[in-house]
Amino acid sequence: TFVVTESCIRCKYTDCVDVCPTDAFREGPNFLAIDPEDCIDCAVCVPECPVQAIYADEDVPGDQQDFVALNAELARAWPAITRLHAALPDAEAWAPVKLKRAELKR
């Protein structure tokens, strides 16, 4: 499966959801998760993300490994998102911030 990582937090550009053939994205207040039950590993979402948040599970960086389980957990709780919408209002300010997992809202 593919996995959304920390750089999505407080950005939520949503370009990724527009291209997903299986509507695998789930939406929380300031982060998206990919449902591993629906992801078919097509990889088309990866280049769409302006902050390079999406990785194949086997390629997730070491300091982001917890996001594999976190995507699965959050995807069970959150509704599907299938259409692009505006990024969060301060997305540009948060895009370069590396350590922001404490900002994740459930």
Query: Which chain residues interact with ligand F3S by CB under 6 A?
Result: 4, 8, 11-16, 32, 48-49, 51, 53-54
Q: Which is nearer to ligand F3S, 54 or 70 (CB)?
A: 54
For residues 75 and 91, what is the distance between their CA atoms, to the nearest angstrom? Answer: 22
List the single partner that 53 binds among ligand F3S, ligand SF4, none, CB under 5 to 8 Å by kind.
ligand F3S
> Residue 8 binds which one of ligand F3S, ligand SF4, none, with CB within 5 to 8 A depending on kind?
ligand F3S
Q: Rule CB under 6 A: is residue 22 a binding residue for ligand SF4? A: yes
Structure tokens at 62: 């070491």
Tell me the residue length of the chain.
106
* Cβ closest to ligand F3S, residue 52 vs residue 65: 52
Number of alpha carbons in the 13 Å side-chain half-sphere of residue 31: 26
Under the criterion CB under 6 A, does residue 20 sit at the interface with ligand SF4? yes
For residue 3, which of 83, 57, 43 has the smallest C-alpha distance?
A: 57
Long-range contact list for 60-63, CB < 8 A, 24+ apart?
60/3, 60/5, 61/5
- Is residue 77 a contact residue for ligand SF4 (CB under 6 A)? no
Chosen residue from 29, 37, 42, 65 binding ligand SF4 by CB under 6 A: 42
